[in-house]
Structure 1
Amino acid sequence: MSQRLTNKTAIITGAGSGIGSAIARLFAREGARIALFDLNTETTAALAAQLQEAFGQQCMACVADVTQPQQVQRAVVQAQDALGPIDILINCAGVNVFRDPLGLEDDDWQRCMEVNLKGPYNLIRSVLPGMLARHYGNIVNVASVHGHKIIPGAFPYPVAKHGLIGMTRSLGVEYASRGIRVNSVSPGLIMTPAAEAWLASCPDPQAERERQAALLPCKRIGEPDEVAYTALFLASDEARFINATDILVDGGRSQVYHD
């Protein structure tokens, strides 16, 4: 066990499942104290207890709707009081909103932007003062391959993810001289519960799974742990000269010009 995050405190949003929970498990194994932010308190409380028992690190669950700034601020204060100053923020909470542009309801647009773009900003605004005061902080936003390439039928999700990558770069440059690094990771197709549910909804789930894997240069679908390891690297001091950048974690799919 390498303990790459010993004596570090991390907040992870969207920690209840998928990529968020994979990051939480890896960070706890690597020595971090962790606050798990999610809407599902039952799931996150169980995960926090499991991680604390397994790895001996302080872990806690916090109720947090990332779209609500006051709720976010209260949860951040709760985490700081229990675990100490926040060293690392992982913005993983997100929601898929895929609609026809002309049929898009205002509520769907608002939900997409509030969760996927404003949510990360709410968390960053809450942890940034403490990070600036200590001249140290690592922020990793979980963006998407949709922030690089446009997939028909996925509007307005790519708009939010392009914005999140832009915010990553902007804030990374803005605060670089003050000890803060802001980076992002952009997963492609990863076998999360949401991806499993989508495949299950297809007329022939196994055929669709095989079709999706065949589209990837590596001929397999990614796993949450593979995104988690990228987030770990960016959040660690090993990546101390990496800032305001985005790392694609998509098996090379976005580099293929034509199927």
Structure 2
Amino acid sequence: MSARLSGKTAIVTGAASGIGAATARLFAAEGARVVGLDRAAQGDPAALAAGVEHVQADVTDQAAVLDAVSAALARHSRIDALVNNAGADVFAEPLDLADADWQRNLDLNLKGAWHLARAVLPAMLAQGAGAIVNIASVHGHKVIPGCFPYNVAKHGLIGLTRALGIQYAARGIRVNSISPGLILVPRIEAWFQREPEARQVQTALLPPKRIGTPDEVAYTAVFLSSDEARFINATDILVDGGRSQVYHD
């Protein structure tokens, strides 16, 4: 690796599996000190083997987030990058959606990212530099029937990205987002195991005729967190193989 993040301290949420684990692992390989937050008790063994500090914390719990960030600052003195990856699918017919599920969707997919951003921003502002990367979704760009209210939260996350990026740009903070398309994370692999024909159907819809990997999202997060992206701010990058640009199925 090129050590593009050498000397930096990063927090990655949802780091126990999927995109979060790939991001934590790649950040560590690029020289960063990585604190991986996840509500799971155990992290991905591959990520842990790469030197990631796994911390159990639920991003919807503001007190737990503050404790985890404070502990990271106590150990490492600074936080240079935050990757807000934690989230979960919440899909329902709008008129059948329970209030509790509406709130759970917002807590997991929007409010959790705000909890982390609010916790790390004081340290970043004090040091005059920092990069926040929010993992949004193609659902924040294109509305797919049957995916309400997840898409509402992801639209909000892209809005949060732009608002914070502009708010703190003059103080050395950059806030960007990544919108992955179909990525081979564990829940997608489980879907394909349940419905083997779905893999072929979904692959055919993608312009490259293949499905994306967690590492391909992680490399984009590394770039946005590195000094190479120092003039990129309040921007969303689609990592979907071009699928969202196709007019029809």
Fold match by TM threshold 0.5: yes
Post-superposition offset of 1:172: 0.2
Aligned length: 249
Q: TM-score, normalised by structure 1?
A: 0.94
Q: How far apart, in 2, do the equivalents of 1:128 and 1:47 lie?
A: 29
The correspondence for 2:157, drawn from 155, 164, 177, is 164
* Structural mapping, 1:67-216, within 5 Å: 67-202=60-195, 205=196, 207-216=197-206
The one-letter code sitting in structure 1 at the alignment partner of 2:50 is L
Which amino acid letter does the alignment assign opposite residue 238 of structure 1?
A: E
Q: Aligned-pair RMSD on alpha carbons?
A: 1.0
Q: Where does structure 1 lack aligned partners over 5 or more consecutive residues?
A: 53-58
| Partner of residue 39, structure 2 | 39
Which residue in 2 is equivalent to 1:56? none
Say whether the 8 Å CA contact 2:22–2:47 is kept in structure 1.
no
Question: Residue 97 of structure 1 contacts residue 156 of structure 1 at CA under 8 Å; is this kept in 2?
Answer: yes
TM-score by length of structure 2 reads 0.98
**Against the structure 1 CA distance between its residues 48 and 224, is the aligned structure 2 distance closer, same or farther, given a 3 Å change threshold?**
closer
**Separation in structure 2 between the aligned mates of residue 247 and residue 112 of structure 1, nearest angstrom:** 23
Deviations 1:149-194 (A, max 9, x none): 0010000000000000000001000000000000000000000001
Unpaired segments ≥5 residues, structure 2? none
Deviation at 1:84, TM superposition (A): 2.6
Output the CA distance in 2 between the equivalents of 1:70 and 1:87: 21
3-state SS of paired residue (2:50):
helix
Give, in whole Å, the separation in 2 of the partners of 1:167 and 1:223.
26
The structural deviation recorded for 1:83 is: 2.4
Identity of aligned residues (%): 62
Once the two structures are superposed, what CA deviation does each residue of 1:187-224 show, in whole Å capped at 9, x if it has no partner?
Answer: 0000000111122232xx1x210110000111110000
